[in-house]
Structure 1
Amino acid sequence: MTRRPEISLYLRTFSDEDIDSRAMLETAQAMDAVGVDRVVVSDHLVLGENLEAYANPAIGGTAGGRQPTGPDGNWLEPLVFLTAVAATTTRIRLGTAILLAALRRPAVLAKQLATMDVLSGGRVDLGVGVGWQREEYEAVGLRFEDRGRLLDHTLEVCQALWTQRRARYSSPELSFDGIHQMPKPVQPGGIPIWVSGTVNKRVARRLSTFGTRWIPWGPAITHLDEAVAAMKQAIADVGGDPSHLEVQGTAVLEKQHDGSLDIEASLAPVPKLLAAGATDIRFAGSPPGDPAQLAQLVDGFRKIASDPV
Structure 2
Amino acid sequence: MDIGLGLPISNPARLVDWATRAESAGFDTLALLDRLAYNNPEPLVALSVLAGATSRIRLQTEVLLGPLRSTALLAKQVATLDRMSGGRFTLGIGVGGREDDHAAAGTPLDQRGRLLDAQLTDLRAIWRGEPYPAARPGTGIGPRPCAPGGPQILIGAFAPAALRRVASHGDGFLCAAPLQWAGGLVQTVREQWTAAGRSGRPRLVCQVNAATGPAVDQARRAIADYYAFTGHTNWGEPLTDPAEIANTVAAYREFGADELVLYCYGDDVAQVEALASAALH
Q: TM-score if structure 2 supplies the norm length?
A: 0.81
Aligned partner of 1:100 in structure 2 is: 65
Aligned residues: 257
Q: What's the CA shift string for 1:270-289, capped at 9, x where partnerless? A: 22212222111111224762
Q: What's the CA shift string for 1:197-233, capped at 9, x where partnerless? A: 1262x23431112223101245x65322333223212
SS of match in other structure, 2:27: coil
SS of match in other structure, 2:64: coil
Aligned partner of 2:201 in structure 1 is: 244
Retained in 1: the 8 A contact 2:66–2:119? yes
Distance in 2 between residues matched to 1:156 and 1:253, nearest whole Å: 35
The answer to which structure has the higher helix fraction is: 2
SS of match in other structure, 1:8: strand
SS of match in other structure, 1:122: coil
Aligned partner of 1:126 in structure 2 is: 91
Per-residue deviation, 1:152:
1.3
Decide which of 159, 167, 173 is 2:131's aligned counterpart.
Answer: 167
Retained in 2: the 8 A contact 1:98–1:127? yes
Percent identity over the alignment is 28
Q: Does 1:271 align with 2:267?
A: no
Retained in 2: the 8 A contact 1:228–1:277? no
Retained in 2: the 8 A contact 1:94–1:123? yes
Aligned partner of 1:11 in structure 2 is: 7
Aligned partner of 1:230 in structure 2 is: 188
Distance in 2 between residues matched to 1:8 and 1:215, nearest whole Å: 13
- Taking the TM superposition and a 5 Å limit, the aligned residue runs for 1:82-161 are 82-161=47-126
Aligned partner of 2:33 in structure 1 is: 42
Distance in 2 between residues matched to 1:258 and 1:140, nearest whole Å: 33
Distance in 1 between residues matched to 2:54 and 2:19, nearest whole Å: 8
The AA in structure 2 aligned to 1:250 is Q
Q: Does 1:299 align with 2:280?
A: yes
Decide which of 258, 261, 281 is 2:260's aligned counterpart.
Answer: 281
Q: TM-score if structure 1 supplies the norm length?
A: 0.74
Per-residue deviation, 1:181:
2.1
Per-residue deviation, 1:258:
8.5
Retained in 1: the 8 A contact 2:113–2:162? no
Unaligned 5+ segments in structure 1 are: 47-72, 301-309
Distance in 2 between residues matched to 1:204 and 1:242, nearest whole Å: 17
Per-residue deviation, 1:75:
1.3
Q: What's the CA shift string for 1:92-124, capped at 9, x where partnerless? A: 111111111111110100001111111111111
Aligned-residue CA RMSD (Å): 2.6
Distance in 1 between residues matched to 2:42 and 2:214, nearest whole Å: 33
Structure 1 residues 90 and 298: alpha-carbon distance in aligned structure 2, compared to 1, 3 A threshold: farther
Distance in 2 between residues matched to 1:163 and 1:108, nearest whole Å: 15
Aligned partner of 2:22 in structure 1 is: 31
Aligned partner of 1:55 in structure 2 is: none
Distance in 2 between residues matched to 1:78 and 1:244, nearest whole Å: 28
Distance in 1 between residues matched to 2:190 and 2:154, nearest whole Å: 15
The AA in structure 2 aligned to 1:223 is W
The AA in structure 2 aligned to 1:205 is R
Structure 1 residues 199 and 131: alpha-carbon distance in aligned structure 2, compared to 1, 3 A threshold: closer
